[in-house]
Amino acid sequence: MASEREALALIPLEGGPARLRADCGSCFGLCCVALAFSASSDFAVDKDAGKPCANLRTDSRCGIHSDLRNKGFRGCTVYDCFGAGQHVSQDTFGGRDWRKDPATAQQMFAVFPIMRQLHELLWYLTEALTLPQTEPIRADLRTCLARTEELAQGTPEAITDTDVAAHREDVNVLLLRTSELVRKGVGGKKKDRRGADLFGARLKGADLRGANLRGAYLIAADLRDADLRTADLIGADLRDADLRGADLTGALFLTQSQVNAARGDARTRLPASLTRPSHWSDTP
| pLDDT at 188 (0 to 100) | 79
CB 105 within 8 A of CB 29: no
Half-sphere exposure of 273 (CA within 13 A, CB side): 25
Give the chain's residues under pLDDT 70.
1-16, 284
| pLDDT at 4 (0 to 100) | 37
| pLDDT at 15 (0 to 100) | 47
Task: Tell me how far apart the alpha carbons of residues 256 and 84 are, in angstroms, rounded to a whole number.
Answer: 14
| pLDDT at 16 (0 to 100) | 54
At 52, is the secondary structure helix, strand, or coil? coil
Task: Tell me how far apart the alpha carbons of residues 167 and 80 are, in angstroms, rounded to a whole number.
Answer: 20
β-partners of residue 263 are: 242
pLDDT in tens, 242-256: 999 999 999 999 999
Please report the domains of the chain, with CATH numbers, ordered by start residue.
20-183 (no CATH), 189-284 (2.160.20.80)
Task: Tell me how far apart the alpha carbons of residues 83 and 21 are, in angstroms, rounded to a whole number.
Answer: 5
Angle between helices 105-130 and 138-152 (to 10 degrees): 170
| pLDDT at 17 (0 to 100) | 75
Tell me the DSSP string of 227-255. Answer: B-TT-B-TT-B-TT-B-TT-B-TT-BT--
Question: Which residue type, as a one-letter code, is found at position 51?
Answer: K
Task: Tell me how far apart the alpha carbons of residues 17 and 208 are, in angstroms, rounded to a whole number.
Answer: 27
Task: Write down the pTM of the prediction.
Answer: 0.91
